[in-house]
Structure 1
Amino acid sequence: MKHVNLRLPDDLHERAKAAAAADDRSLNSWLIAVVRRAVEEAERRSAQEA
């Protein structure tokens, strides 16, 4: 597993923490899920364009 340092503006950090809590996840787990969805969607769009 890779470690990534991510700098977020204070307001975005608070909003992300709230979204993670609403989803009953840690912030780290929530961010992983969000990035995974974004990457999979980008891959689907790329495959459709090919």
Structure 2
Amino acid sequence: MVNFNVRFPDELIARVRIQATADRRSINSEILHLLEVALATVGEDAESPGGNSAAPAPLRGKPDSSPA
């Protein structure tokens, strides 16, 4: 397993913490679960009729965080 450091906004980590508690998981396990679910959904969208897997996902975050 690889260690990967990620910075989270305070509001987002608070939401993850609440969800982890509700699901009786550690925060790490909850983040892994959410990523797996999200990536599975992306794979399903690419296979659905009319799904455009070549189109990039919209950027999220602060407006100044987009690439130049």
Same fold, TM-score > 0.5, yes or no: yes
The count of aligned residue pairs is 50
Structure-1-length-normalised TM-score: 0.85
Give the number of the structure with larger relative contact order, counting CA–CA contacts within 8 Å between residues 6 or more apart. Answer: 1
| CA radius of gyration, larger in | 2
Where is the helix percentage greater, Structure 1 or Structure 2?
Answer: 1
Structure-2-length-normalised TM-score: 0.66
**Mind listing any 5+ residue stretches in structure 2 that lack a counterpart?**
53-68
- Work out the percentage of aligned pairs sharing the same amino acid: 30
Moved >6 Å (runs of 4+): none
**Mind listing any 5+ residue stretches in structure 1 that lack a counterpart?**
none
Aligned Cα RMSD in Å? 1.4
Give distance in 1, aligned partners of 2:46 and 2:11: 32
